Amino acid sequence: MPDVHWGYGFPIGGVAATNVERGGVVSPGGVGFDISCGIRLLSTTFDEGDIQPRLTRLMTTLKRDVPAGGGRGGIWRANDRDLRRVLEHGARAAVEAGYGFTEDLERCEDGGWLPAGVGDAVSERAKARGIGELGSLGSGNHFIELQIVDRILDPQVAQRFGLREGQVTAMIHTGSRGLGHQICSDHVREMLKALESYHIELPDPQLAAAPVRSTHGERYLSAMAAAANFGRANRQLLTWAVRRVFEAALGRGQISVVYDVSHNLAKLESHQVGGSRVELCVHRKGATRALPAGHPDLPGVYSEVGQPVLVPGSMGTASYVLVGESSNDAFFSTCHGAGRAMSRHAAMRTGDGVELRRSLQRQGILVETRSVASLPEESPEAYKDVDEVVRACEGAGLSRPVARLRPVGVLKG
């Protein structure tokens, strides 16, 4: 993908498919540590003029009410039973616990959950790391961003997505937190021990893998699905928090889910390859599924237009909503964001966090963060030009732009 950059095992922005019936493997390094890290976009009935006088209050309340950064706790004070329901039922479990509405799930990838027989595939260590983080943002490149629909590029599709110029939207970027990280670590370690039994030789241990149809492959896919369910429930809880913050600052207004999609996942999918339809294990790491109109896996509300693809830029630059194209020959995959242009260490040397925050404020973007000192890690200069990345995806027939969004407020961990 055009947003590609270095990552553990696979590059971030990498897509790979293996033929399940011919011994195809699944690789945790082809999914990543933050399993089901993804984007949720919310549309609102508010316009830019509604929020500008209250933007400072909105952002300070978001910072107060949303746990962000490492080890900051979570919105849901879950017990073991709650966590098990989340691992098995994803965003559905959060809705059933009162954190949202059934309609939210109708606009989520897979309806907000994947079948997951948890068993012992999820270690007690992973559960312990996750139970206190349900409903939290995390750190690094994770964020909640308040945006304005700056430009509509496909009016017909935008209308179906519920987007219009001048409208306020909220974009949520987070994943499965410590639970997903631990699951990846656990299963890489298990697969490395089992390589010889599967006659697998690797150029790099970061590419640890096992056949999909094997004990190790099936255990990983089960644990990965549980982590995906955690990530989807996490974004559902943050949706609940955003709604409460808007209601407190602006009164009642409608806030709806446009779509929720993961960009770190492996899925078993049916694709045409060489004239035949085969079952593939499609790894998308820092890449987004982009289904075209008419695809059977689409939510009914989008079956006639195609899947919303949510592409964040960088802090201080535009984000995009795209739609899947039928011409896509990358297993219906497209970019997941702007993609890093420099490492975090290099980005930290580009300037001072306090001055970066002031610079963004001069551009009309309020930034709230738990760590001003680490803010340069996510500076706009650290990322590729999102406009160019989107143009590349459109030129390659992977997806096409529907709407451009510009930031007005950003909450970072």
Hey, what amino acid is at 320? Answer: Y
Enzyme catalytic residues? 336
Hey, what amino acid is at 348? Answer: M
Question: Rounded CA gap, 346 and 314, in Å?
Answer: 16
Question: Rounded CA gap, 162 and 400, in Å?
Answer: 17
Query: Measuring CA to CA, which residue among 244, 229, 193 is closest to residue 83?
Result: 229
Question: Rounded CA gap, 340 and 315, in Å?
Answer: 12
Q: Give the torsion through C-alpha atoms of 233, 231, 333, 409, to 10 deg.
A: 90
Question: Rounded CA gap, 15 and 30, in Å?
Answer: 8
User: Other CB atoms closer than 10 Å to residue 26's CB: what's the count?
Assistant: 26
H-only helix segments in 72-176: 80-89, 91-96, 102-105, 124-130, 155-161
What is the enclosing helix (H) or strand (E) of 173?
Answer: strand 167-174
Query: Measuring CA to CA, which residue among 35, 76, 40 is closest to residue 222?
Result: 35
Residues written for the chain: 413
DSSP strand pairing (143-152 vs 25-26): unpaired
H-only helix segments in 251-405: 344-348, 353-362, 386-395
Label residues 194-222 b or e (16+ Cβ within 10 Å = b). Answer: bbeebebeeeeeebbbbbbebebbbbbbb
